[in-house]
């Protein structure tokens, strides 16, 4: 009996803690005039937190305050140096290291608990190996003066380039960006629209309970349907196209390497919750049993206002991302250059 | 029966009202529902022009496609009356000549390699369409109207425009869709569009403007499912005077209406880049 009593006491304690923890998030819900939770604003999804946790950190989910202070100081120093070195380069291309977005998380991935992507299925692993091998077969190494080795990829066609470089699309959900990481959310009765500056995409999310597009229709940005769960906007995204691969810049800040896996079977559940006046918590669960052996989840802040750094404070800070219109010389040089490399090889 | 004169009076009054009401309804301007929480009309919705302005703003008869041997009747030009007030575009003489050149060269490969300027109809290259052409391309667009900020998403090429309302942030630079500042005149949304790139065309007939263009758009609700759209185009480099186009926009009323993707870049890559990987010297 006493054990049970203690357990109940424990449960009650947990309940109280949960209430205390949640209170700031739900205490002052901003609402639209028609009563929906208000997520509107301009935000950035820039982050300094890597998608996957460094393996040596094991199950350590958070850095300590002291560790964070040290990292921030280091970041400021790096930024100052980079900015000084790039003083003559466009500000837009400058912030290679994010000025904001430092959280105490050790990884964006929160599930699995080790903060790392689940293993690939055997089929996905095989496909990835084949695609990596194909890519490697297009690599030309040259030894230059002083013995430096330069690796260049041959692009036989525009189809060897990512949809990003072809200016068609970028994988949504977005999780990191070198630049143009501004987002604008607007709401009208029955809709939430997320305007991504990069690729000038307006992601229109109907809230009226309509079914997803017919399964035969595949789109770069899929089909999105939303509903409210309390103050959280829950979006189901399906109908993605296999023409798109789950790509990223191969940096520590993004998923390791270019996995080149098609996104067509991937389904996403995104949860957007306002956590304070300036920030949205963005949580995404990715599920594709043909690619990964388990679903996985990552979480990141979308920051606005003063928290966004000095770049995306208001709607006028989002500018037109006319990528394709300026892509002629890139394509010409890439494709002609590849032919020339093959001639020289 | 107890009070027949009263009933009779009601019948008479009702008859008069019935007789008067339709006339009054026709004469009175339409008053649109207000955007929740504001005094402005609600322009939210999916809209689409239903005309042939994208082929030619001017009056035009039907015409074959440029490649009838390949396409048959596909791609033929549908006939249409003018959407221009006064039917004529007041070109300066050089510009009238340029329009004819544009039309002749509308399928030219992109970018003049000597002048570094684009040639050919930007629509063939899936370029952002500019304003006002975005409005009457044969694709729907969706208005997201909030009190201070309006976003228009166009199905064609995922084009997007922000309209700043009630504030006038300065344009940071030229852009393909221009910089839009809106204000309300009664129930009309008036949008000043400046700072366009000047490489956009107005239609497939090669009608054009320059980077000096100033477009004033007017969106006025005229029924629950119609907007009247007007655009006044002023460009001292190209025209002798400002001129105006006008057309209704129709609400897409299908229950499942939604913008889908027309990300046309992948449809033009062979056209645009094919010559870079073929055996040729260009």
Please list the residues that pair with A301 across neighbouring strands: A281
Q: Is A75 an 8 Å CB contact of chain B? A: no
Nearest CA to B106 out of B85, B88, B124 is that of B124
Q: Is B47 an 8 Å CB contact of chain A? A: no
d(CA A207, CA A186): 13
Contacts of B125 in chain A (CB under 8 A): 324
Q: Which of residues 48-107 of B touch A (CB under 8 A)?
A: none
- A328-344 helix and B265-277 helix, angle to the nearest 10 degrees: 40
Is residue B154 very low, low, confident or very high in pLDDT (cuts 50, 70, 90)? very high
Are B172 and A191 inside 8 Å of each other by CB? Answer: no
pLDDT for residue B182 is more than 50: yes
pLDDT for residue A251 is more than 50: no
Query: In the prediction, which pLDDT does A48 show?
Result: 73
Are A33 and B36 inside 8 Å of each other by CB? Answer: yes
Q: Which residue of A has its CA nearest to B196?
A: A320
Q: Which of residues 213-232 of A touch B (CB under 8 A)?
A: 213, 217, 219-221
Condensed to tens digits (0 to 9), the pLDDT of residues A85-110 reads: 655 443 333 333 444 556 788 999 99
Contacts of B146 in chain A (CB under 8 A): 40, 186-188
A97: which residues sit within 8 A by CB, 6+ positions away?
A: A48, A75, A78, A79, A82
Contacts of B175 in chain A (CB under 8 A): 319-320, 322
Of A186, A314, A335, the CB nearest to B146: A186
d(CA A186, CA A178): 24
d(CA A239, CA B122): 30
Q: What number is the ipTM of this complex?
A: 0.88
Condensed to tens digits (0 to 9), the pLDDT of residues B225-268 reads: 999 999 999 999 999 999 999 999 999 999 999 999 999 999 99
Region A27-41: what's the mean pLDDT? 89
pLDDT for residue A22 is more than 50: no
Tokens 């912030």 — which residue? A95
Show the tokens assigned to B114: 């000597």
8 A C-beta contact, residue A274 and residue A20? no
8 A C-beta contact, residue B48 and residue B196? no
Condensed to tens digits (0 to 9), the pLDDT of residues B8-18 reads: 444 444 444 44
Are B158 and A331 inside 8 Å of each other by CB? Answer: no
Provide the 8-state DSSP code for B15: H
Is residue A235 very low, low, confident or very high in pLDDT (cuts 50, 70, 90)? very high
Of A33, A204, A335, the CB nearest to B142: A204
Nearest CA to A108 out of A257, A313, A245, A302 is that of A302
d(CA A181, CA A110): 22
Nearest CA to B263 out of B89, B126, B78 is that of B126
């Amino acid at each position: 009996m006493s054990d049970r009593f203690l357990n109940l006491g424990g449960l009650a304690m947990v309940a109280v803690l949960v209430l205390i923890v949640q209170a700031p998030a739900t205490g002052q819900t901003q609402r639209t005039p028609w009563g929906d939770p208000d997520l509107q604003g301009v935000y950035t999804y820039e982050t300094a937190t890597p998608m996957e946790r460094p393996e040596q950190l094991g199950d350590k989910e958070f850095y300590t305050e002291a560790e964070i202070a040290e990292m921030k100081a280091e970041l400021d120093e790096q930024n100052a140096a980079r900015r000084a070195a790039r003083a003559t380069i466009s500000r837009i291309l400058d912030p290679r290291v994010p000025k904001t977005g430092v959280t105490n998380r050790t990884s964006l991935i929160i599930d699995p608990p080790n903060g790392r992507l689940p293993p690939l299925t055997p089929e996905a692993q095989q496909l990835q190996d084949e695609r990596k091998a194909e890519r490697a077969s297009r690599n030309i190494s040259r030894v230059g003066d002083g013995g430096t080795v330069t690796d260049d990829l041959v692009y036989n066609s525009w189809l060897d380039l990512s949809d990003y470089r072809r200016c068609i699309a970028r994988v949504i959900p977005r999780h990191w960006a070198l630049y143009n990481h501004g987002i604008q959310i607007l709401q009208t009765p029955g809709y939430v629209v997320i305007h991504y500056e990069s690729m000038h995409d307006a992601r229109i999310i109907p809230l009226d309970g309509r079914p997803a597009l017919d399964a035969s229709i595949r789109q770069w940005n899929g089909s999105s349907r939303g509903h409210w769960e309390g103050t959280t906007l829950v979006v189901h995204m399906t109908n993605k196209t296999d023409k798109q691969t789950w790509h990223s810049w191969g940096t520590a800040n993004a998923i390791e390497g270019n996995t080149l896996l098609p996104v067509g079977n991937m389904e996403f559940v995104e949860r957007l919750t306002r956590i304070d006046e300036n920030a949205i918590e963005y949580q995404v669960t990715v599920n594709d049993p043909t690619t990964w052996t388990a679903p996985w989840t990552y979480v990141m802040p979308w920051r606005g206002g003063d928290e966004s750094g000095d770049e995306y404070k208001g709607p006028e800070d989002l500018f037109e991302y006319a990528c394709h219109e300026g892509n002629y010389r890139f394509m010409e040089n890439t494709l002609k250059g590849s032919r020339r490399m093959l001639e020289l090889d | 029966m107890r009070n027949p004169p009263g009933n009779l009076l009601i019948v008479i009054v009702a008859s008069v009202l019935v007789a008067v009401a339709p006339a009054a309804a026709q004469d009175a301007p339409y008053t649109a529902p207000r955007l929740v929480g504001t005094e402005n009309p609600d322009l939210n919705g999916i809209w689409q022009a239903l005309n042939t302005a994208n082929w030619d703003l001017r009056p035009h008869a039907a015409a074959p496609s440029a490649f009838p041997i390949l396409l048959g009747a596909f791609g033929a030009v549908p006939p249409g009356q003018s959407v221009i007030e006064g039917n004529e575009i007041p070109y300066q003489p050089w510009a009238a000549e340029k329009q004819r050149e544009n039309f002749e060269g509308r399928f030219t490969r992109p970018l003049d390699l000597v002048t570094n300027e684009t040639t050919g109809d930007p629509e063939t290259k899936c370029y952002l369409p500019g304003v006002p052409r975005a409005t009457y391309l044969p694709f729907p667009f969706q208005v997201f109207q909030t009190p201070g900020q309006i976003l228009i998403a166009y199905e064609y090429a995922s084009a997007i425009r922000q309209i700043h309302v009630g504030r006038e942030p300065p344009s940071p630079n030229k852009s393909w869709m221009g910089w839009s500042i809106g204000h309300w005149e009664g129930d009309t949304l008036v949008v000043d569009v400046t700072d366009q790139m000047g490489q956009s065309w107005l239609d497939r007939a090669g009608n054009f403007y320059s980077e000096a263009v100033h477009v004033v758009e007017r969106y006025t609700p005229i029924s629950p499912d119609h907007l009247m759209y007007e655009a006044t185009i002023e460009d001292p480099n190209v025209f002798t005077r400002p001129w105006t186009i006008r057309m209704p926009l129709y609400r897409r009323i299908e229950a499942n209406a939604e913008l889908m993707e027309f990300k046309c870049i992948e449809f033009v890559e062979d056209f645009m880049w094919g010559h870079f990987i073929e055996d040729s010297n260009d």
